[in-house]
C-alpha cells in the first residue's frame, strides 16, 4: 500500500477521520500549517545506534533536505523510553510531502548508495527493532517550527517533549483551543518558554492527543522557567476557566539531547 493510500485507510482504522486531516489544509484565513512526522527508532544495542547515526547523518538527512524536508531533528533520550530509542522529527510543508517521501527516497540513487548498509541490513543483523511514527498538524497560533537560537550557535541545549492525552475528542479540541485562542502559547512566550513546535496528532497511538516540544539551555533553566509559568497569575486564571477543565487525562514527558548532526 502506498503511503498516500495509507492516509485514507487510517480513517477506517481508528485514527483521525479523513475529513479532519483534509480540513487542516483548508482552514479559511489561516496560514497553511506544517505537518510533523515524529519517528521513534527502537534499537538493540549501542552498535545499532552508531549504524543509525551513520545512516541518518550521511544518507537520510541530506536526501530529506534535497526533497525540501528541513530542518530535521535527531534526538537521543536523556529520560523517556527504557529501551534504546532515537527520535527523528521531520517537518513537512504539505500532506503530499508526507505521503510521497518514501517513493521519492526509493528513487533517489544517491540516498540508496549512501544508506545501503542500513537499508539492506539482513534479518540476522537488523539495523533497528521497529519504528513508531505519528503524524501531526501544526497549531494555528504556531503554524511553523521555530528553530532554537542555540542550534545556529551550536550551543548545548535540551528538549522537553510533552504529549497530552485526552479522554474525548471534544476535550482534546478544548485543550488545543486553550493553547491557541485561549492564550497559552502567548503566555509561554511571555514567560520565556521557548517552543519548537505544537502539533495535533492526526495519526498515531493513544488518540486523541497533542504533542509539543520546548527547548532549554539546561535542566536548571527548565525548572526555573516552568516554576515561573505555573506560579503566574495569568496561568492560574487561564487554568481556572471551566471551559478548559478536565482537558488532559494523561501526560507523557521525555527529555532529549540533540545528536551532534541534528539540524534542530
For 227-249, write each residue's pLDDT tens digit: 999 999 999 999 999 999 999 99
CA dihedral 76→56→39→147, nearest 10 degrees, is 70
> Distance between CA atoms of 183 and 151, rounded to whole angstroms?
27
> Distance between CA atoms of 196 and 142, rounded to whole angstroms?
9
Distance of CA 254 to the CA centre of its chain: 12
Q: What is the pLDDT of residue 3?
A: 53
Q: What is the pLDDT of residue 204?
A: 95
Check: CB of residue 143 under 8 Å from CB of residue 30: yes
One CATH from 3.40.50.300, 3.40.190.10, 3.30.70.100, 3.30.420.40 for 3-258: 3.30.70.100
Could you tell me the sign of the dihedral formed by the alpha carbons of 108, 110, 111, 112, in that order? positive
> Distance between CA atoms of 124 and 14, rounded to whole angstroms?
34
The list of the chain residues with pLDDT below 70 reads 1-31
> Distance between CA atoms of 263 and 26, rounded to whole angstroms?
29
Check: CB of residue 158 under 8 Å from CB of residue 215: yes
142 SS3 class: coil
> Distance between CA atoms of 194 and 192, rounded to whole angstroms?
6
Lookup result for grid cell 518558554: 193
- For residue 83, the tally of other CB atoms under 10 A from its CB is 11
Q: What is the pLDDT of residue 4?
A: 53
Phi, psi of 167 (to 5 degrees): -85, -10
pTM score, whole prediction: 0.87
> Distance between CA atoms of 130 and 149, rounded to whole angstroms?
33
198 SS3 class: strand
Q: What is the pLDDT of residue 152?
A: 87
Phi, psi of 34 (to 5 degrees): -80, 165
153 SS3 class: coil
> Distance between CA atoms of 1 and 5, rounded to whole angstroms?
6
Check: CB of residue 211 under 8 Å from CB of residue 135: no
> Distance between CA atoms of 233 and 230, rounded to whole angstroms?
8
Amino acid at each position: 500500500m502506498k503511503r498516500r493510500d495509507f492516509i485514507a485507510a487510517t480513517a477506517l482504522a481508528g485514527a483521525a477521520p479523513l475529513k479532519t486531516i483534509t480540513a487542516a489544509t483548508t482552514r479559511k484565513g489561516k496560514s497553511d500549517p506544517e505537518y510533523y512526522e515524529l519517528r521513534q527508532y527502537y534499537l538493540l544495542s549501542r552498535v545499532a545506534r552508531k549504524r543509525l547515526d551513520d545512516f541518518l547523518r550521511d544518507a537520510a538527512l541530506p536526501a530529506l533536505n534535497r526533497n525540501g524536508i528541513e530542518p530535521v531533528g535527531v534526538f537521543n533520550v536523556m529520560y523517556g523510553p527504557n529501551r534504546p530509542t532515537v527520535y527523528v522529527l521531520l517537518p513537512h510543508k504539505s500532506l503530499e510531502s508526507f505521503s510521497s517521501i518514501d517513493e521519492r527516497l526509493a528513487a533517489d540513487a544517491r540516498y540508496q548508495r549512501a544508506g545501503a548498509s542500513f537499508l539492506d541490513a539482513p534479518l540476522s543483523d537488523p539495523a533497528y527493532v521497529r519504528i513508531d511514527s505519528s503524524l501531526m498538524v501544526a497549531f494555528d497560533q504556531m503554524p511553523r517550527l521555530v528553530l532554537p537560537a542555540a542550534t545556529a550557535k551550536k550551543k548545548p541545549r535540551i528538549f522537553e517533549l510533552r504529549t497530552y492525552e485526552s479522554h474525548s475528542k471534544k476535550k482534546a479540541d478544548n485543550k488545543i483551543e486553550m493553547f491557541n485562542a485561549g492564550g497559552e502559547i502567548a503566555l509561554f512566550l511571555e514567560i520565556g518558554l521557548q517552543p519548537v513546535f505544537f502539533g495535533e496528532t492526526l495519526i498515531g497511538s493513544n488518540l486523541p492527543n497533542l504533542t509539543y516540544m520546548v527547548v532549554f539551555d539546561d535542566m536548571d533553566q527548565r525548572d526555573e522557567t516552568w516554576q515561573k509559568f505555573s506560579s503566574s497569575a495569568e496561568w492560574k486564571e487561564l487554568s481556572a476557566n471551566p471551559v478548559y477543565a478536565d482537558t488532559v487525562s494523561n501526560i507523557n514527558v521525555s527529555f532529549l539531547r540533540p545528536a551532534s548532526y541534528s539540524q534542530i
